[in-house]
């Protein structure tokens, strides 16, 4: 009962009975968080055109919880900096690519038998162990979360440049009930006290701010992006950097306020390859339409934001967004997302930056042929060498009076994007009708891991992974061990990170037989997936029965950091971090 969201082709909100459970007395269901979030990242374009400030569940929020399902992301970064889908605020119209409830109610779908995935390998437990999950030190989150709050507290993004060294960011609720942005560092294996993003309180007069994305190049040198609410309740872009271990005052992205004439803008994804040299992307609103932007930081100074070249021509429907940015080197990056080809019709785009100049965006090759339902979008990018990237997205296919939401994969070689192809799926998964990719990480070019969720005929959400080995994608399979954990049949992959080829970590949530949502993690070593497990100690913290891993980041040494949230007794949402020590 979780991913039933607003269908992109309807002109009204989906009825409440299709939107899943209400907030439980002991906490807020992450499904509701994602739905409230997806109202900005995945809401129907037609709804946005007629009611650009409409909010699902009454919550103006960004889609970190729903794509952050989506999303996001993200999945905005190649290894080792990969987070969950990093989206945008509920006031932003978006294509609704997560149409599970609508599909299940409308079409006959076939349940997936475990054998349809083939033999999912279990292995002898690997060396190393997860540390017990702990509340982020600092106790910033003193407010109680409810459906009317401006943000849901949680760690939205994490980046670990080396073993025992991570930085993370997200949102919390202060004692006045205002949503604030925070950052926190792990130094020599010890998580420090979280701090409000310096300078954000002065910007955030509207009481809704958060960090959506973070990227670190070395210990103490990171950049992060997000949004805040300024005067007139305008959502504006935010960037902040850490220099020598100290976070500097946050600023609005230069010129983004000029672009953002209608007052809805956000930094969704960011990638940094050297100190003070980053690229980021997101969206802004002008004259009631949403446009995609990119911006570069050069030698420590953020430059002027610009509309992604070429998207103005593509985006005739007035609804575009950068969903993912990845850089192989400073000034050599790729960005991707979606644009509206018409009312409630969407296409996937990609754009390259070469030697510091952003080139014209193009429709992802071959997606027009695949996307007979006109609902395509690029979800995640990972670039490991200049002119060599991998990406994943999804599209809607009509076949014999049925609708299939399917993933596509595409790669760039020598600066040229090839044709998108459907991700190989076993017959049962194709028949399921809705297969959502939610996170991608590539340790090297042509060696990637993709995670996602699928909807079966019984109305349940299950999780899967697929691997790209030496440039060849292998079929998706159910994540080992999740069937036993997910007795409540409501699971999602939020984040994937690979420090080395075939050495990855995945995080998300499952639903137990008691209908408690619990954070799960699973590791791949040497190409073999080990059994998924509830994140140690998170179940003890999660007395409110609503926890998840939102972001994962792993290093080449095998060290990983994860961030997320859990619900304490009384319904307050709290911030969570943990590590894997090889």
Per-residue pLDDT reduced to its tens digit, 360-373? 999 999 999 999 99
pLDDT the model gives residue 399:
76
Of 114-118, 153-157, 361-365, 430-434, least confident by mean pLDDT is 114-118
Whole-number mean pLDDT of the chain?
79
Stated as kind and residue range, the H or E segment containing 367 is helix 367-370
Radius of gyration of the chain (CA): 20
pLDDT the model gives residue 344:
86
In the DSSP assignment, the letter for residue 571 is S
Q: Is the pLDDT of residue 100 over 70?
A: no
Domain that holds residue 204: 16-76+101-581
pLDDT the model gives residue 430:
63
pLDDT the model gives residue 176:
86
- Closest CA relative to residue 139, chosen from 441, 564, 574, 478: 574
pLDDT digits (tens, 9 = 90+) for 27-42: 333 333 333 333 333 3
Q: Which pTM does this prediction carry? A: 0.81
pLDDT digits (tens, 9 = 90+) for 524-572: 999 999 999 999 999 999 999 999 999 999 999 999 999 999 999 888 8
pLDDT the model gives residue 297:
97
The CATH code of the domain that includes 269 is: 2.130.10.120
pLDDT band at 73 (very low <50, low <70, confident <90, very high): very low
Highest mean pLDDT among 57-66, 90-99, 382-391, 422-431: 382-391
Question: Over 15-78, what HEC string results?
Answer: CHHHCCCCCECCECCHHHHHHHHHHHHCECHHHHHHCCCCCHHHCCCEHHHCCCCCCEECCCCC
pLDDT the model gives residue 429:
67
pLDDT the model gives residue 363:
98
pLDDT band at 150 (very low <50, low <70, confident <90, very high): low
Average pLDDT over residues 266-290: 95
Cα–Cα distance list, 92 to 23, 47, 131, 150 (Å): 23, 10, 38, 15
Is residue 11 situated within a structural domain? no
Average pLDDT over residues 207-230: 96
The answer to whether the beta carbons of residues 345 and 314 sit under 8 Å apart is no
Stated as kind and residue range, the H or E segment containing 452 is strand 447-455
pLDDT band at 426 (very low <50, low <70, confident <90, very high): confident
| Comparison of pLDDT for 571 and 316, the residue scoring more | 316
Average pLDDT over residues 251-274: 90
The answer to whether the beta carbons of residues 440 and 391 sit under 8 Å apart is yes
Q: Is the pLDDT of residue 330 over 70?
A: yes
pLDDT the model gives residue 549:
98
Highest mean pLDDT among 57-66, 116-125, 256-265: 256-265
pLDDT the model gives residue 518:
98
Q: Is the pLDDT of residue 433 over 90?
A: no
Is residue 91 situated within a structural domain? no
pLDDT the model gives residue 428:
67
Is residue 5 situated within a structural domain? no
pLDDT band at 250 (very low <50, low <70, confident <90, very high): very high
pLDDT the model gives residue 496:
97
Highest mean pLDDT among 138-147, 170-179, 496-505: 496-505
pLDDT the model gives residue 259:
85
Using a pLDDT cut of 70, give the percent of the chain over it: 76
Is residue 574 situated within a structural domain? yes
Is residue 92 situated within a structural domain? no
Is residue 525 situated within a structural domain? yes
Is residue 90 situated within a structural domain? no
Paired strand residues for 534: 520
Is residue 4 situated within a structural domain? no
Q: Is the pLDDT of residue 118 over 70?
A: no
Query: Rounded to 5 degrees, what are φ and ψ at 370?
Result: -70, -40
How far is 372 from 381, CA to CA, in rounded Å? 23
Cα–Cα distance list, 278 to 166, 223, 255, 359 (Å): 18, 8, 17, 17
Number of folded domains that form the chain = 1
Contacts 24+ apart (CB under 8 A), 416-422: 416/387, 417/350, 417/362, 417/364, 417/365, 418/365, 419/365, 419/366, 420/348, 420/364, 420/365, 420/366, 420/367, 420/370, 420/393, 421/366, 422/370
pLDDT digits (tens, 9 = 90+) for 188-200: 999 999 999 999 9
């Amino acid at each position: 009962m979780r991913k039933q969201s607003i269908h992109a082709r309807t002109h009204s909100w989906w009825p409440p009975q299709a939107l899943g459970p209400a907030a439980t007395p002991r906490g807020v269901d992450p499904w509701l968080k994602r739905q409230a979030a997806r109202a900005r990242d995945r809401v129907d374009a037609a709804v946005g055109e007629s009611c650009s400030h409409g909010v699902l569940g009454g919550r103006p929020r960004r889609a970190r919880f729903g794509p952050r399902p989506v999303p996001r992301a993200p999945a905005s970064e190649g290894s080792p900096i990969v987070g969950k889908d990093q989206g945008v605020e509920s006031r932003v119209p978006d294509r609704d690519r997560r149409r599970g409830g609508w599909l299940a109610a409308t079409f006959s779908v076939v349940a997936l038998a475990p054998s349809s995935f083939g033999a999912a390998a279990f292995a002898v437990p690997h060396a190393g162990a997860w540390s017990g999950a702990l509340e982020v030190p600092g106790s910033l989150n003193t407010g109680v979360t409810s459906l009317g709050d401006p943000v849901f507290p949680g760690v939205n993004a994490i980046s670990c440049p080396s073993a025992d060294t991570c930085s993370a960011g997200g949102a919390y609720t202060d004692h006045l009930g205002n949503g604030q942005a925070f950052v926190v560092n792990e130094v020599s294996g010890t998580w420090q006290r979280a701090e409000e993003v310096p300078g954000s309180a002065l910007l955030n007069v509207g009481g809704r701010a958060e960090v959506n994305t973070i990227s670190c190049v070395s210990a103490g040198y990171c950049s992060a992006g997000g949004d805040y609410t300024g005067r007139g309740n305008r959502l504006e872009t935010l960037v902040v950097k850490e220099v020598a271990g100290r976070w500097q005052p946050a600023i609005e992205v230069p010129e983004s306020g000029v672009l953002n004439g209608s007052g809805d803008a956000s930094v969704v994804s960011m990638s940094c390859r050297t100190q003070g040299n980053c690229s980021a992307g997101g969206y802004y609103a002008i004259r009631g339409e949403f446009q995609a932007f990119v911006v570069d930081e050069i030698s420590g100074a953020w430059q002027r934001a610009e509309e992604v070249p070429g998207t103005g021509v593509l985006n005739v429907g007035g609804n575009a967004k950068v969903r993912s940015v990845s850089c192989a080197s400073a000034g050599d990056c790729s960005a991707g997302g979606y644009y509206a080809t018409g009312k409630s019709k969407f296409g996937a785009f990609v754009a390259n930056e070469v030697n510091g100049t952003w080139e014209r965006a193009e429709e992802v090759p071959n997606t027009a042929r695949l996307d007979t339902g006109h609902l395509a979008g690029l979800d995640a990018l990972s670039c490991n060498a200049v002119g060599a990237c991998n990406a994943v997205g999804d599209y809607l296919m009509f076949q014999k009076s049925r609708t299939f939401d399917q993933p596509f994969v595409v790669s760039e070689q020598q600066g040229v994007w090839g044709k998108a192809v459907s991700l190989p799926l076993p017959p049962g998964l194709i028949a399921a009708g809705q297969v959502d990719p939610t996170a991608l990480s590539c340790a090297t070019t042509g060696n990637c891991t993709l995670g996602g969720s699928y909807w079966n005929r019984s109305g349940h959400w299950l999780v899967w992974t697929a691997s790209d080995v030496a440039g060849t994608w292998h079929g998706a399979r159910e994540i080992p061990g999740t069937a036993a954990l997910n007795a409540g049949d409501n699971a999602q992959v939020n984040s994937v990170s690979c420090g080395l080829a075939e050495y990855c970590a995945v995080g998300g949530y499952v639903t137990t037989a008691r209908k408690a949502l619990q954070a799960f993690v699973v590791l791949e070593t040497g190409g073999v997936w080990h059994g998924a497990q509830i994140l140690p100690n998170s179940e003890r913290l999660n007395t409110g029965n609503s926890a998840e891993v939102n972001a994962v980041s792993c290093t080449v040494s095998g060290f990983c950091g994860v961030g997320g949230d859990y619900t304490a007794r009384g319904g307050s949402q709290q911030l969570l971090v943990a590590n894997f020590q090889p």
